[in-house]
Amino acid sequence: MQKIDLQRYFFLGTAMRYLQDCQEGYRIARFPEGGFAILDNIQIFLKDLEELKLFVTRRASYGLENFLEELKQQPDKENLTSEAALKIRELMNKIRPTFDAESEGIFPFYTTDKRYNLESLIGGISKLFRPGVYDLLPDIAKTDFSEAGYCIAFERPTAAAFHILRGTEDVLRNYYKKFIRGKKGVKTWGQMTFDLKNKNKGKMPNSVIVNHLINIKDSFRNPTQHPDKIYDIHEVQDLLSLCIDVINRMVHGINSK
């Protein structure tokens, strides 16, 4: 996946149109007072073809690239001659069909508004947690919640639910170790909440947290882990809220004396 500013396509089209329409007298080099001219537009056009991965059109533009070098060598770079303007128009008219054919296979996809800010979902998931909590999460949990944010932004809700629940379980393991000692081996979510629920001496886990975890296991984790549940975009955002709340509480409990 690559993030591209849509203005890049706008500037590419503007440069193409400018070159297709160029006439005798058009400025060759940049205006002293600012503003793009022929050389700038050719360079922008060729560079954007490369960076926007329109490689077929870029290869078809070799003639334009060669003519660019000729223009750079002219001792007088102020204005196009009628011959030079005609040459550029002919080159662009040869390039245009290739560009049209190649661009037919390019489709932009737009993210739509969610209840969460898209900037937080895409690369800023830490902002949704209580301040400082995300930095204390295990690495796997960080990765899972980051992936969940992208999945919600791009409307893959069931995939997002998997990541949310995996990340929550990763934090649960640390919470379990805080209160249950001496039991070795990897425990399931159910085993961990059972042990936490039935602990009756020593430092006690928070009953609100444990009840939340049991609810998440029964209502979401188990049917998601097995092929029993498909999420819509609204339900998975509810799940994200629920799990962020319990993680905020668990991290506070893990780091309290």
Other CB atoms closer than 10 Å to residue 237's CB: what's the count? 19
pLDDT computed for residue 34 by the predictor: 59
Inter-residue contact 122 to 80 (CB < 8 Å) = no
CA contacts within 13 A on the Cβ side of 222: 11
| DSSP conformation class of 111 | P
- Give the CATH architecture of domain 7-103: Up-down Bundle (1.20)
Strand partners, 79: 27
CA distance 200 to 190: 18
Structural domain spans, the chain: 7-103, 118-255
pLDDT at 3: 73
Return d(Cα 51, Cα 47) in angstroms, integer: 6
Contact 216, 172 (CB under 8 A): no
Residue 94 to residue 76: CA distance in whole angstroms:
27
pLDDT score recorded for residue 33: 57
> How confident is the prediction along the chain (257 residues), in pLDDT tens digits per residue?
667 777 888 889 999 999 999 999 998 886 665 567 899 999 999 999 999 999 999 999 999 999 999 888 876 668 899 999 999 999 999 999 999 999 988 887 778 888 999 899 998 999 999 999 999 999 999 999 999 999 999 999 999 999 999 999 999 999 999 999 877 778 999 999 999 999 988 889 999 999 999 999 999 999 998 888 999 999 999 999 999 999 999 999 999 87
DSSP annotation of 126 reads G
Could you tell me which residues come within 8 angstroms of residue 121 by beta carbon, excluding any fewer than 6 positions away? Answer: 114, 149, 150, 152, 153
Calpha distance 144→160 (Å, rounded): 9
Q: Could you tell me the pTM of the whole model?
A: 0.75
Taking the C-alpha atoms of residue 74 and residue 22, their distance in angstroms, rounded to an integer, is 18
pLDDT at residue 1, as a whole number:
63
Alpha carbons 10 and 209: distance in angstroms, whole number: 52
